[in-house]
Amino acid sequence: MADVPHQQSPLLPDRLLHGTPHHHPIEHIFGIAPQLPCLESEKTLVHFVLPPWSKETDWDKDRQARFIENIFLGVPIGYYVIHAPQWRTSGVKPMSGWLLDGTNRITAIRDFVANKVSIFNGVFHDDLDELTRERRFYHQPFPCFELPYTNDLQQLRSIYEHLNYGKMEHHPRAHSHLLVK
């Protein structure tokens, strides 16, 4: 089936995500050139820069473990979204290389590699032999969607908010009425 060209609708806004999909394995997130923050309010995660408004990860160790287990079980883990890195003669451009979606997943991968998360009831990264780690973890697909560089902060914030619409703040008592007593 051939792709149908994108057409605008008078009833709908234009598409939000335009960019290039990249089919990388997990090991790619550790092998790319590190991006460096331009602003004091930016943080880093592995080799990515996080936007100033990016929230800390909200996955606990159990959720991280389930995610890592899915990698070993061959369950697709989605993709992460970055804002294309760009440079000028004086250095990196502002907002370059921002990680707009995938913070929880990349944090879980980082923590597993650092032996901070165990899977399948107590198995750590370093417990696995090198061949198993390579074939069943590092070589597993973790595609990336790269947005073209823009200096439009409001557009990047809007994209971030759309990509992260499902995140909820979790408060221990917020759903206590749902517990079976």
- Tens digits of per-residue pLDDT, 164-177? 876 645 344 443 43
Distance CA 151, CA 93 (A): 9
3-class secondary structure, 176: helix
Extended beta strands in 52-164, E state: 80-83, 87-88, 91-92, 99-101, 144-147
Tokens of 2: 């051939």
> 141 near 76, Cβ under 8 Å?
yes
Residue 19: CA atoms inside 13 Å, Cβ hemisphere, count?
Answer: 20
- Tens digits of per-residue pLDDT, 67-102? 999 999 999 999 999 998 887 777 777 888 899 999
Total-model pTM:
0.82
Which ranges of the chain have pLDDT less than 70?
Answer: 1-7, 166-181
> 6 near 118, Cβ under 8 Å?
no
